[in-house]
Amino acid sequence: RGASEGGSSGLGLDIAAKAAEAAGGRLVVDRSPWGGARVTMVFGPVPDGGAVDASGNGHRWPGRSGHRNASGGPPRNAA
């Protein structure tokens, strides 16, 4: 729901964009083929040393973007 419907203040995309920028990325918004909008966070290459799992278990993916879910597998929506 939009802000005019009383359901949201509209801050979500602004917060997401600032979070992406703080991590060296950006937010891309375009039309979804199913209607509505598709929002994607895009990040640059991982610095030397690889990605680190944010869960705190110390797992690393050398040379990978860190494109994994919390269990270490591919994201649920990955093809």
Digit-by-digit pLDDT tens for the chain (79 residues) are 455 566 677 788 899 999 888 888 899 889 888 888 888 888 877 666 666 666 666 666 555 444 444 455 555 554 4
* Phi, psi (deg, nearest 5) at residue 16: -65, -40
- Evaluate whether 25 touches 42 at the Cβ level (below 8 Å): yes
Which residue has tokens 């269990």? 71
Rg (CA), the chain: 16
For 17, the token pair is 């964009």
pLDDT the model gives residue 23: 83
- Residue 75 Cα to chain centre, angstroms: 11
pLDDT the model gives residue 66: 46
